Chain A
Amino acid sequence: MGISVQRISKRFNGFVAVDQVSFEVAKGELVALLGPSGCGKSTILRIISGLERPDSGNVFLNNSNVNRLTPQQRRVGFVFQHYALFKHMTVEKNIAFGLEIKKKRKPEIATRVAELLELIGLTGYRKHYPAQLSGGQRQRVALARALASEPKVLLLDEPFGALDVKVRENLTGWLRRLHDKLNTTSIFVTHDQREAMDLADRIVVVNQGRIEQTGIAPQVYEKPRNKFVAGFIGNANVLDGICTDGAVYLKRTPYKIENRSAPATGKNGIMIFVRPEDIDIQATNRGNNAFPAVITHINYRGSYRELDLKAQGLNIKAFEYKNRKSAFSWQQNQTVFIKFNNYKIFERPVFNYGSSQKDIALDVECGEGKHGQASNG
């Protein structure tokens, strides 16, 4: 096991930042800690690096407990969100810093630095100061500095958070290739689900100091374990529903979603999560639990369009993708018939919306195979 985190907790002045978090990262794996800002994901990373001490729990790096080791002794590579380059040192000196501290011989350092400069494609910049580089270049220098003494574990705290989109896309691809080449075990923290999906072998979704779900990208996207994951990853329409007479209805409408006996939902009703791309739009009503809606607004997004729909006072968002045969077809103010091809049902929470304890997906109890194909009658 490359990295193993076991039941770590951390409080700051009574605020629970990390709450009994456990997960494992296999050797050579690249894992994303994904969550909203302030969810504790950075703290988890800092605990692994030794920069923060957990109140309880254990951290194992390559099967040895490092709880008592200082950051200096753990020998992990750490990349900070804002690069944290040494401003008064040149690119070359920055990269050589760790090696010089470890008292490596001069020629050895020079060779390694030259190697890394080539790896990050900044050979011509070795005498530059960080202030003379662009954000993307700085981040690459930070990476080279972290990699200089060949750490077995690489930790990246929002590595692309401060970069603009194009640079970010370039760097994510580059980092993925680099990771594969170096065969390190890496964890990176991000709030950007796209980045997580692009880059990671596995995604650990974190919220309020806890792990909500762990899995490969298609798992967390298509089979969210709870409301938080369903809402946080990807877009989702969240609609109130009720469950009566062996069918699922949208609340306060006559619209039936599907015939099926949903599990008992308690007195709080249910919530229906449906992704915009899972809404089928038709010009005419062909039955199949479709219901009418009016297109109130269309947002052009290039490869697809976002349609704002209104059905009996409910606002629903749907995506329309470019058809192979024709271009976009729907028009504003048109009445169409929509059908939920795929959706998830969660129990409506009693008090705390964000709490993850009681909102396990009800579908799981129903059996996964059933939903998605709307049954006829």
Chain B
Amino acid sequence: MKRTNPVKFWAQRLSLRHVLTGMVLLWVLLLILFPLGGMFQKVLAAEPVSCLKSLLAPSARLSFKLTFWLTLGAVILNTFFGLVIALILVRQNFRGKLLLEGLIDLPFAVSPVVTGFMFITLFGNNSIMGHFFDEKGIRIIYAFPGMMLVTLFVTFPFVIREIVPVLKEYGVEQEESAYVLGASSWQTFRKVTLPSIKWGLLYGITLTIARSIGEFGAVLVVSGAIINKTQTATLYVHQQFTDFNYTGAFAAASVLALISFVFIMMIQFSQKKVKGGTWE
């Protein structure tokens, strides 16, 4: 019997492809799944009753409510403006188009904390704008409007960035044939354009949701994180953590992570199904 050298044995069977795939999986495991698992483990280890209790505490409930409204606002406004801006960027040629495209990416490049400070300088008590609104009795900084504004700012690019390439690839021929067939611009948009960019749009919205839920820095700066008033869910997690209330922190954090995770996976899998099944 010939004895095989185990090193040689495996070297022959393991191609570079296998090694690379393994490395990628390991990397994802270390970077994404471990931290996620660690957090959930902490929650599961805790008493379910105390977890639930901490989640149902008034300040926790209020913080989630606040996050919900901010997210809803960001989704509605950024979907609308995102669609309009993406259509204009792809279909129209005008002066300053390059500048506009650059500006769209700006929220990605600016640190959220800096974003927060930008809004403070713009709407703070000592600014002209802040003064103007103050006289009318509208508070922007350390209140909901300011938090809404920074959330809009940091989530602004997602919808646009997801739709623009889809729109570009999709071209105008289908729309033109709709026109020739008698469809108005609005009918064409509703029946032809929108269904074609649906997945890009949904993905953009999902990212907007995930980011709105997760935003911390910018909201922290403009909200002042006033408990029971301007504290969003992420701020609540942070506060619970610094107060050594680990159960409350991990429970709330898990809920946040779970929501984002569910949204992303929903999109991911529904998209897969459509591609395999009917169109594209």
Q: Which residues of A contact B (CB under 8 A)?
A: 49-51, 70-72, 74-78, 80, 82, 84-88, 97-98, 101-102, 129-132, 142, 145-146, 148-149
Size class of the B contact interface (CB-based, 8 Å) = 20 to 34
Number of A-B contacts (CB under 8 A): 72
Does B58 interact with chain A (Cβ within 8 Å)? no
Given A78-B180, A101-B187, decide whether A88 and B196 contact each other with a Cβ distance below 8 A: yes
Does B179 interact with chain A (Cβ within 8 Å)? yes
- Chain A proximity of B7: nearest CB distance (Å): 49
- Residues of chain B lying within 8 A (CB to CB) of residue A72: 179-180, 182-184
- The reply to whether B176 and A149 form a contact with Cβ atoms under 8 Å apart is no
- Docked Cα-Cα span, A102 to B187, in Å, equals 11
- The reply to whether A149 and B181 form a contact with Cβ atoms under 8 Å apart is yes
- The reply to whether B280 and A71 form a contact with Cβ atoms under 8 Å apart is no
Residue contacts A-B, CB under 8 angstroms, 16 given:
A72-B183, A72-B184, A76-B180, A78-B176, A80-B173, A84-B176, A87-B196, A87-B279, A88-B195, A88-B198, A98-B181, A101-B181, A131-B280, A132-B278, A146-B181, A149-B182
Does B89 interact with chain A (Cβ within 8 Å)? no
- Chain B proximity of A371: nearest CB distance (Å): 47
Which 8 residue pairs across A and B have the least CB separation, nearest first? A98-B181, A84-B173, A78-B180, A84-B177, A88-B195, A71-B179, A101-B182, A101-B183
User: What 0/1 readout, one digit per residue, does chain B (170-193) give for beta carbons within 8 Å of chain A?
Assistant: 000110111111111001000110
- Across the two chains, which residue of chain B brings its CB closest to A127? B278
- Residues of chain B lying within 8 A (CB to CB) of residue A82: 173
- Residues of chain A lying within 8 A (CB to CB) of residue B278: 129, 131-132
- The reply to whether B174 and A84 form a contact with Cβ atoms under 8 Å apart is yes
- Residues of chain A lying within 8 A (CB to CB) of residue B279: 87-88, 129-131
- Chain B proximity of A203: nearest CB distance (Å): 25
- The reply to whether B182 and A98 form a contact with Cβ atoms under 8 Å apart is yes
Given A87-B280, A129-B278, decide whether A71 and B196 contact each other with a Cβ distance below 8 A: no
Main secondary structure of the interface of B (DSSP, over half): helix
- Docked Cα-Cα span, A101 to B185, in Å, equals 12
- Residues of chain B lying within 8 A (CB to CB) of residue A74: 180
- Docked Cα-Cα span, A129 to B191, in Å, equals 16
Residue from A80, A88, A129, A131 within 8 A of B177 (CB atoms): A80
- Docked Cα-Cα span, A78 to B183, in Å, equals 14
Other than A78-B180, A87-B280, A146-B180, give 13 A-B pairs with Cβ distance below 8 A: A51-B179, A51-B180, A70-B179, A72-B179, A78-B177, A84-B174, A84-B176, A86-B196, A88-B196, A97-B178, A97-B181, A101-B181, A131-B278
- The reply to whether B173 and A145 form a contact with Cβ atoms under 8 Å apart is no
Given A87-B279, A87-B280, A88-B196, decide whether A49 and B178 contact each other with a Cβ distance below 8 A: no
- Chain A proximity of B13: nearest CB distance (Å): 39
Residue from B176, B184, B280 within 8 A of A80 (CB atoms): B176
- Docked Cα-Cα span, A80 to B174, in Å, equals 9
- Docked Cα-Cα span, A148 to B181, in Å, equals 9
- Docked Cα-Cα span, A131 to B180, in Å, equals 22
User: What 0/1 readout, one digit per residue, does chain B (241-280) give for beta carbons within 8 Å of chain A?
Assistant: 0000000000000000000000000000000000000111
- Docked Cα-Cα span, A119 to B135, in Å, equals 72
- Residues of chain A lying within 8 A (CB to CB) of residue B177: 78, 80, 84, 86, 142, 145
- Residues of chain A lying within 8 A (CB to CB) of residue B178: 86, 97
- The reply to whether B180 and A71 form a contact with Cβ atoms under 8 Å apart is yes
- Across the two chains, which residue of chain B brings its CB closest to A75? B182
- Residues of chain B lying within 8 A (CB to CB) of residue A97: 178, 181, 183, 191
- The reply to whether B176 and A86 form a contact with Cβ atoms under 8 Å apart is no
- Across the two chains, which residue of chain B brings its CB closest to A90? B278
Q: Counting chain A CB atoms within 10 Å of each CB, which of B173, B177, B178, B180 scores highest?
A: B180
- Docked Cα-Cα span, A129 to B179, in Å, equals 21
- Docked Cα-Cα span, A80 to B178, in Å, equals 12
Interface residues of B in 157-212 (CB under 8 A from A): 173-174, 176-184, 187, 191-192, 195-196, 198
- Residues of chain B lying within 8 A (CB to CB) of residue A85: 174
- Docked Cα-Cα span, A88 to B166, in Å, equals 14
- Docked Cα-Cα span, A85 to B171, in Å, equals 12
- Residues of chain B lying within 8 A (CB to CB) of residue A78: 176-177, 180
- Across the two chains, which residue of chain A brings its CB closest to B280? A131
- Chain B proximity of A147: nearest CB distance (Å): 11
